[in-house]
Amino acid sequence: MERPLTVAAAQLGPISRDARRQDVITRLVSLLEKAARMECQLVVFPEMALTTFFPRFLTEDESEISGYFETEMPNPSVSPLFETAARLGVGFYLGYCEQVGRGKAVRRYNSAILVDETGHIAGKYRKVHVPGNPQYDPALGLQHLEPWYFLDGDLGFPVFHCLGTRIGMLICNDRRWPEPWRVLGLQGAELVLLGYNSPSQLPDNPRQNAFRTEHHQLPMRAAAYQNGLWVVASAKAGREEGCDMMGGSCIIAPSGEVVAVSSTLGDELLTYTLEPGLAEEYKSFFDMSRYRRPESYGLICDRCGPGEPLTSAEWASKLSPKVSGQPTDPDADS
């Protein structure tokens, strides 16, 4: 049964360090209104869509740090976005900085919410793969201090029913890891929304600069195909506070095909009418319930990083009796 969904990746240009929240919200509302005129039902804003990417700076002033964070959603400063969404009947994904608790109990997360067409929050996700350094490193030409400001997400990888579609959310660096996509796919996700802020160059690893766009798309294209889902990825782009941020906002089909990609480094609306049901064709092709072998994949969860190859005996101890050939029934013939 066809149930088309018109989506938009609402790419943003730079946001300055001293930008007023009101001015940023005005830009988001303008993109939302434009999307509604184009009959979009869902708009995807970037990671940290309300602020500059402040983790490139070391900031120890608590008042300044707190100014980048939202203590509740919605709140008075962002209410125009929620009200516009409800008035127009358009849902959205919004990346923002979330602060929970007070005083010494403060916890901060790089978060995203999914808002339905009535302006109500349908789901929340907190970024799990927080990259960068926990301390300032004067040897680096470009600081990336997300761990200084954010904790790893603690909500897992949930999938939400919204706009007649099973939707998952990821944020930036999450896209480079296969595990989140598989977890979302195993929950039947048909569409994954992802916002990001990614530099165009890596000063500490310049050999990879020529592959930045390729390395951005590659894991998402593979994940879309291997898990049978659509992907909408939206960038914060352009030269922001001395750092060149890559664009490349894109929409990817379950075939792995990039069906739409942005053409600028500024505020831009990238739209596409997708068919969520197409995801089922690829899920059926892989037929995970028939062919996946979780009992053989234990090493994935046992190790964080590369180690020595396992010996035959170590493999035998890790595999279930079904895989190792050992009898599963104590009364079975030897």
Catalytic residues: 47, 127, 172
Tokens of 98: 């979330």
User: Identity (one letter) of the amino acid at 223?
Assistant: A
* Short-list 84, 109, 106, CA closest to 95: 109
Q: 168 by DSSP, 3-state: which?
A: strand
Strand order in the sheet with 121-126: 121-126, 107-115, 91-100, 42-44, 5-11, 268-274
DSSP H or E stretch at residue 135: none
Retrieve residue 2's tokens: 């066809």
CA separation for the pair 3, 165 (Å, rounded): 9
Cα distance between residue 176 and residue 24, in whole Å: 28
| Beta carbons within 10 angstroms of residue 60's beta carbon | 8
C-alpha–C-alpha distance, residues 285 and 183, integer Å: 18
Determine contact, residues 4/41, Cβ cutoff 8 Å: no
Six-digit token pair at 27? 């830009």
Question: Closest Cα partner for 5 from 298, 309, 228, 253?
Answer: 253
Q: Where are the beta strands (DSSP E) in the chain?
A: 5-11, 42-44, 91-100, 107-115, 121-126, 159-162, 165-171, 191-196, 230-235, 238-240, 243-245, 250-252, 258-261, 268-274
* Distances 18 to 28, 50, 157 between C-alpha atoms, Å: 17, 12, 33
Retrieve residue 267's tokens.
């505020």
